[in-house]
Amino acid sequence: MADTALPAPGRQRVLDAAAERLVQQGYAATTLRQLAADAGIKAGSVYHHFASKEELFIAVFNRGIEVMVEAFDSVEVADPLERLGAHVRAHLGALFEHGSYTAAHVTAFFTAPPEVRAEVVPQRDEYEHRWNDLLADVFPDLPAGRRPLTRLLLFGSMNTTIEWFHLSGSLTLDDLAAIITSQFIDGIHASHLIRSAR
């Protein structure tokens, strides 16, 4: 494992800048000149690290999935329902607590050109597969054919939190994860009892 201490290399600074710009501006509006300026280099120097704008953003999107996968795989909880809650918390953690890569992926992936998306699909599939397996494990009664749809609805709630949730607010990420998990498992009637029940 490389010693990535103190002064981040140019390539890394460009990637970090790209992730943040993606979240705020989307794919097309983010220019290599901006990224270079953010990273403290000139536009032409970006091409020493990446062959094209597309290759650069493929790296960002893939890193965004890596962060999600690492968060997912770090969960070790025995009880099925508790494990589900831990994975929801881990997914939200990837979105808000481990840099901008996952947030960039979730917000900008669908606005990226088809060639870029195609290079990222395999890694996306891998993450989705993990969740399908988790659902199969936690909800044995859920038909296999319904797992993708169920996952998509849960992802929809989790991923759109980046449009409105802020770590600086009064609602903590633990609270949010607990509410989403409860809402997902038992519906609205149960989810709003969470805070008072503790």
Partner DNA sequence: GTCTATAGGGAGATAGAC
Partner DNA sequence: GTCTATCTCCCTATAGAC
Structure tokens at 187: 């519906």
Residue from 55, 171, 172, 174 touching a second copy (CB under 8 A): that is: 171
Residue type, 181: T
Neighbour-count burial of 140, counting CB atoms closer than 10 A to its CB (0-12 exposed, 13-18 middle, 19+ buried) = exposed
Q: Establish if 26 lies at the interface with DNA (CB under 7 A).
A: no
Q: How many residues bind DNA (CB under 7 A)?
A: 22
Given DNA, a second copy, none, residue 166, with its beta carbon under 5 to 8 Å by kind, binds none
Q: Establish if 41 lies at the interface with DNA (CB under 7 A).
A: yes
Instruction: Return d(Cα 192, Cα 161) in angstroms, integer.
Output: 17
Phi, psi of 44 (to 5 degrees): -60, -30
Whether 182 and 196 have beta carbons less than 8 Å apart is answered as: no
Q: Which region among 12-20, 36-44, 86-94, 105-113 touches a second copy (by CB under 8 A)?
A: 105-113
Nearest to 160 by CA among 93, 112, 92, 64: 92
Q: How many residues are present in the chain?
A: 198
Applying the rule CB under 7 A, the residues between 6 and 25 that interact with DNA are: 9-11
Q: Which region among 30-38, 101-109, 115-123, 134-142 touches DNA (by CB under 7 A)?
A: 30-38
Q: Establish if 197 lies at the interface with DNA (CB under 7 A).
A: no
Q: Which region among 43-51, 98-106, 143-151, 177-185 touches DNA (by CB under 7 A)?
A: 43-51
Q: Establish if 142 lies at the interface with a second copy (CB under 8 A).
A: yes
Whether 69 and 127 have beta carbons less than 8 Å apart is answered as: yes
Q: Establish if 102 lies at the interface with a second copy (CB under 8 A).
A: no
Give the nearer residue to DNA in terms of CB position, either 33 or 192: 33
Residue from 26, 77, 98, 134 touching a second copy (CB under 8 A): that is: 26
Taking each continuous run of H as one helix and of E as one strand, the counts in the chain are 11, 0
Give the nearer residue to a second copy in terms of CB position, either 5 or 198: 198
